[in-house]
Structure 1
Amino acid sequence: MLSFRLTCVISILLCLWSCSSNNVLPNATIHPSYTTDIDDYKYLIGPGDSVNIFVWRNPELSGSFSVRPDGMITTKLIEDIEVTGRTPTQLARELEEQLSVYINNPRVSVTIGGYVGPFSEQVRVIGEATNPRAVNYKENMTLLDLMISVGGITEFADGNNTQLIRIENGEQKVYRVFIDDLIRDGDISKNVDMLPGDILIVPEAWF
């Protein structure tokens, strides 16, 4: 009797595993950056940033507010306002519109502290980098700046076959960059501009 029950339990578990193994995980959603031109960069607010809101002549409505992981903040009069992906100026104008329900002709200015930004603005380095990680984008960031941030590449890296993946007009483009020539040979002509959302894949060399 015990053997029969055990067989039934095993059968059920195998059935559940078989059913679950046929499921397909959804693809990760790619959120392209709004910045497509190195000379037209505007900082976007992201989770972890500190948003400093100043309401002219209304100090009781002013203050510093942390952006939650869901991309929202709660101010003293407005609950759950979405701020991720907005510039400080865009947020200031939206706050003025919403505060006009409570006060006459509000004037709002917004500054940012922390400078974390949304994930879509980060530059990611994976593979044979010394310290592969996601790096917060900064205006006019170049490949050399990025390599300094991750400590360069390892001795096992094939730097000259590194791939730079970039979303352009909704499509994925792949470019080859020459890190060995840049940081090991000092060839500055191999330095290129980075854009928010870029992914750098540093392969291992085949010896």
Structure 2
Amino acid sequence: MRKLVLILTLLATLPSAVLAKDYAITVGDKLTISVLGEPDYLTEALVRPDGKITLRNFGEVMARGLTPEQLQEELSKKLRELIRNPSVSVMVTQFANSKIFLVGGGVKPTAFDLSMQTTLLHLLTSIEDMSAADLANAALIRDGRDIKKDFTSLYAGDASQDVSLKTGDTIVIPASSSSKGVYVVGAVTTPKMVPYRDGMTILEALLEAGGFNKFASPNNTKVVRRTNNQDEVIKVAGKRLVRDGDLSQNIVLRGGDLVIVDEGFF
């Protein structure tokens, strides 16, 4: 909890223009523009369908397609004729009909309205339950491409890893192995999904599924494990394990493993 408070405190000290420095202004965005030491220049402007904004003392300025930083530079050029070394600030205070999407087995799927400037770290720290999240295999997808993978150091508070979110971004956070179940199927008394525990063995999983049924061929037991998008099959001599106590057959399982007990021929 203390780490979360520290992260949020650090984020609160970052200027909004930095948080959205790579965001391209679009039609319908609401901007707040100010000039340091010049309160008369404080203005709110809506980006019109033609991409322009109308500002007091500035006239019409094209904003669409520019980042807030680029618009600041453009306005500073115009102001130099009136003010010496003007310091202009541009903030996007409301985004136009923008959504970002959070998906994956490690979180509750949600669509967020991007109604204000936000970053990936802001979003991550707003998620109530991250206990099932596999941050190491998480990804930020933009325009069909992974632009950031592995959120571990970011979530730990490394703000240098942070990125601004844009309309249409999808954040994928899969479930961690420890949050997945072990599936025991085939010739067992009660085929079921067994909640995974660290260090769980195949014998424990079989016992929770009621053990082998009368049709089982225990020595034709196998574990199917998905690794790097490929299935690995591990054969287990279940009869040697259960009857003879051969612990070499009592393999340690991983979350998501599939235990299959084949039937024998009678």
TM-score bin, normalised by smaller chain: 0.3 to 0.5
Q: Which structure has the higher relative contact order (CA within 8 Å, separation 6+)?
A: 1
Higher strand share: 2
TM-score of the pair, normalised by structure 2: 0.38
TM-score of the pair, normalised by structure 1: 0.47
Larger Rg: 2
